[in-house]
Chain A
Amino acid sequence: MTSSHSQPPLSDDTTVVEADPRADDAPPEATVPDDQGLQPVKLLIGVVGVAFTLWAMLNLFLAFAYYPEWFFNSKILMGALGLVVGVGGAAVLFYFINVAVEALPRRLEHGLIPYAFLLPGFSLIGLMLLYPTLQTIHYSFANADSTAYVGLQNYVDLFGSGAFWSAVINNLLWIAIVPALTVAIGVVVAVLADKLSAGGEKWAKSFIFLPMAISFVAASAIWLTQVYAYQAPGRPQTGMLNAILTAFGGQPQNWLSIDTGRLNSLLLMVILVWLQTGLAMVLLSAAIKGVPEDTIEAARIDGATEWQIFWKVVIPQIKGTIITVFITVLILVMKVFDIVYVLTNGRANTDVIANQFFNQLFARGQAGLASALVVILLIAVIPVLIYQVKQFREQEAMR
């Protein structure tokens, strides 16, 4: 990863910092010094600036929560101030960080400035993701309100419960079906769209892309009311699936409670595929357009059929994108929650790990069991994580 765009060696650097007359070891006449050494006043300004900015930001933000009356209880004012203070405060913070580090002797400055720029972002990641992850692993060995250790009891309880294994099976089904189906439909759509006229392609793609803007909850509402709706036999059916079924003389079904062959889980998966196909299509379509025309032309001259060209020429060249889309959807599917939670909340054998986690933590107040569930989820994503890192390293090597 030592890339071509790396910084020149320290000694080559000729950055000119305005001479500060107060700096004790700055030469009196304003020649351009190679290294100014420590500039205590500038350093002080920087450090005090950083501290004050942090202090002011924190206090103002906390004031939104503790003393809303200071802001006339106006949510809009607080939202606007939050935006201004968040963005402006961050800019001022980085300005003072830069001032403080620049005040250091040249060698130290160059060593420190990258870390100084990384520090705020990484602190947030540390505070919001790394620390809680460790704490969750810790909680998974503790009781329901995290007050005493129970050893491996939470894991023993989980592995002994039928509900847990049912959820695992569902998760495995989601993982096996949704990413593959999304990619397959995405490829088909991308290939077919490529054969349309420019205008037709644009319109067709817009329609398929549209659900990407829809939330899981709204999509669930759409499919529940428009497609899977069930009315008692004899009444007019308002769901499309039952309307079609009864038109052909069938009995209306309450789709989301049929767990034969996990049909209801499959119907929930359809919603996610519907939502994600647009993303797959956009990425794959760009990849297909990037396939060099002459490779296809060459295959054609050699007498390959369109079918052969597709499988032997196009697919190998878009394999990278196919894998990217697959992994993106896979990561999403492993923690699928919203659709299951709002439509069945795990009833009729549709439960998944993330939904079980939510119910254990909030409906039942079982922090220990909930944490154990997340730890299992975390372990399950490790192979994906390793793959992503490997993939990234290869990509960087090619840069």
Chain B
Amino acid sequence: MSTTTANDRDTRVTAEKIRGSGRMKDGRKRSPVSMVVMFLLALLWTVPTIGLLVTSLRTRDAAATSGWWEALWAGGWTTENYSRVFEQADMGNAFINGVLVAVPATIIPIMFAAFAAYAFTFMDFRGKDVLFISIVAVMVVPIQVAFAPLLDIFGPRGLDIAGQYLAVWVLHTGFGMPLCIYVLRNYMASLPFSVVESARIDGCSNFQIFWKLIAPMAMPAMAAFATLQFLWVWNDLLIAKLFLSNENTTVIVKLQQLLGTQGQGAELLTAGAFISMVLPMLVFFTLQNLLVRGMTSGAVKG
């Protein structure tokens, strides 16, 4: 008896709510609490960045004497910070360096890793387990372990390429390799094995199978990794600072130098920071869906 009444009451309430405005288009209940909390969180996560943008567009004096939230009435707007940061901090050159470092360092590892991932997915061989597990293990190793010996190899005592793009390309290719093999292999394992089998029966070589079948099919995973690797290389401070000479260095290192000389260049710092964020944000928002799909489909279980 009691259950029936409860159910009755429940349906009545639901019916009322559908008629009212308490529901969304898809029929779920509107949740005011989540709306408010999410709005506040989104605000909290965005406000510092908006503050940076506003401050970067204000004169040094204005920025030092009033908070950015007062900019609307306190004024002091200018675009001079941007032109000056390009002149004084050599940002234009650094921006080009950043692109020239990041693009090859993003794409070259994929080429090497894809073949390895292909072997791990579609071939059987002795030591496969051990080798792949070593990849999983190496992903955890902090890259700092490599610096002292590699500075020797790349430095004047060795190959003498420290300071050049080449050194950084090689480093990022090596450091990105384990994750790239891992991501691509996990994705390839979800591809239909029968395709490879029938191609083998038709007499295709492994190189052809990889090139004509697997590489195109693994494109989404490659793009997801490329996005991650690009963000990582562009945003990297440590490797760029150690292995690039001052004229070849990236935006992030320039920004770090601006942070170091706070006193004179406070207004340049905000403009520089915003410049350093423009390209990764563009890449990020263009490829966001792809990246999310790649990460959530088990591609990055890192």
Interface positions of A (Cβ within 8 A of B): 1-8, 13-17, 61-62, 64-66, 75-76, 78-79, 82-83, 86-87, 90-91, 94-95, 98, 102, 111, 113-115, 117-118, 120-122, 124-125, 127-133, 135-136, 139, 146, 188-189, 191-193, 195-198, 200, 203-204, 206-218, 220-227, 231, 235-240, 243, 274, 277, 279, 282-283, 286, 324, 327-328, 331, 334-335, 337-338, 341-343, 354, 357-358, 361-362, 367, 370-371, 374-375, 377-378, 381, 384-385, 388-389, 392-393, 395, 399
Task: Report whether A64 and B34 are in contact in the complex, using a CB–CB cutoff of 8 Å.
Answer: no
B173 at the interface (CB under 8 A from A): yes
Across the interface, which residues of A come within 8 angstroms of B200, CB to CB? 8, 13-15
> A384 contacts which of B30, B140, B178 (Cβ < 8 Å)?
B140
Given A129-B141, A131-B149, A335-B142, is A214 in contact with B166 using a C-beta cutoff of 8 Å?
no
Q: Which residue of B lies closest to A68 (CB)?
A: B164
List, in ascending order, chain B residues with CB within 8 A of A66's CB. 160
Contact between chains at B150 and A388 (CB < 8 Å): no
Whether B146 lies near A132 (C-beta < 8 A) is: yes
The answer to whether B125 touches A111 (Cβ under 8 A) is yes
- Please judge, given known A-B contacts A111-B125, A132-B150, A238-B66, whether A215 and B235 are in contact too, CB under 8 Å: yes
A236 in contact with B237 (CB, 8 Å): no
Majority SS of interface residues in chain A?
helix
B1 at the interface (CB under 8 A from A): no
Nearest opposing residue in chain B for A223, CB measure: B48
B97 CB–A CB distance under 8 Å: yes
Secondary structure at the B interface, as helix, strand, loop or mixed, is helix
Q: Is B48 in contact with A226, judged by CB distance below 8 angstroms?
A: yes
* A contact residues around B140 at 8 Å (CB): 331, 381, 384-385, 388
B174 touches A129 (CB 8 A): yes
Tell me which of A83, A111, A324, A331 contacts B301 (CB under 8 A): A324
* A385/B137 contact (C-beta < 8 A), A204-B38, A342-B259 known: yes
A94-B115, A122-B131, A236-B65 are known contacts. Are A136 and B148 too (CB-CB below 8 A)? yes
Q: Which residues of chain B come closer than 8 Å to A327, judged between CB atoms? A: 302
Enumerate the 4 nearest inter-chain pairs by beta-carbon distance, A residue then B residue, closest first: A128-B174, A79-B100, A215-B235, A16-B203
| Cβ A118 vs Cβ B116 within 8 A | yes
Per the CB 8 Å criterion, the residue count for chain B at the interface is: 134
If the complex has contacts A217-B237, A395-B301, are A374 and B118 also in contact, measured as CB distance less than 8 A?
Answer: no
Q: Take A86-B108, A282-B292 as given contacts and tell me if A215 and B252 are in contact as well, using a CB distance cutoff of 8 Å.
A: yes
Verify A113–B174 contact, CB threshold 8 A. no
- Please determine whether A86 and B111 come into contact, CB atoms closer than 8 angstroms: yes
A15 cross-chain contacts in B, Cβ below 8 A: 200-201, 203-205
11 interchain pairs (CB within 8 A)?
A: A75-B97, A79-B165, A129-B146, A132-B150, A215-B236, A215-B277, A217-B255, A218-B273, A235-B65, A389-B136, A389-B137
Q: Is the CB of A91 within 8 A of B111?
A: yes
Q: Are B131 and A118 neighbours in the complex by a CB distance under 8 Å?
A: yes
Tell me whether B52 and A226 are in contact (CB under 8 A). yes
Of B25, B166, B197, which is in contact with the most chain A CB atoms at under 10 Å from its CB? B166
Q: Are B181 and A215 in contact (CB under 8 A)?
A: no
Q: Is B2 part of the contact surface with A, judged by Cβ < 8 Å?
A: no
Q: Does B46 contact A (CB under 8 A)?
A: yes
Contacts of B13 in A (CB 8 A): none
Q: Please, how many angstroms separate the alpha-carbon atoms of A207 and B164 in the complex?
A: 37
Contact: B111 with A61, CB < 8 Å?
no
- In B196-218, which residues have CB < 8 Å from any A CB? 197, 200-201, 203-207, 210
Give min CB distance, A137 to chain B, whole Å.
8
Interface membership of B288, Cβ < 8 A? yes
Interface string of B101-116 (1 = CB under 8 A from A): 1011001100111011
Cβ–Cβ contact A392 & B100, under 8 A: no
B121 adjacent to chain A (CB < 8 Å): yes
- What is the minimal beta-carbon distance from B3 to any residue of chain A, in angstroms? 11
CB pair B173 A124 closer than 8 Å? yes
